[in-house]
Structure 1
Amino acid sequence: MTELSILDLFLQASLLGKVVVIILMCMSVASWTMIIKRSQVLSRAKSNVERFEDRFWSGVDLSQLYQEVEARKDSLTGTEQIFHAGFKEFARLHRNNGKAPEAVMEGTGRAMRVAMSREVEELETNLPFLATVGSISPYIGLFGTVWGVMHAFIALGAVKQATLAMVAPGIAESLIATAIGLFAAIPAVIFFNKLTNQVAKLEHSYATFMDEFSSILHRQAFAAHQE
Structure 2
Amino acid sequence: MTEHQALARIDAVPLTLTGGRSLQDWLAHETALGPEGARRAIIEYRRFLALALTAPRDAPAMPPPLVQQVWQRHRDDGAAYHAFCSALDCGYFHHNVSRWQITRAEAYRQTRARYHAAFGALSQFWWPHPALLAIRTRLTVVWIVLAIGCVFFGVVDRIESVWAVLAIYGVVAALLLAGRFLPLRFREYEGPRGSVAMRHDGPV
Give the TM-score taking structure 2 as reference length. Answer: 0.33
Higher Cα Rg, which structure? 1
Give the TM-score taking structure 1 as reference length. Answer: 0.31
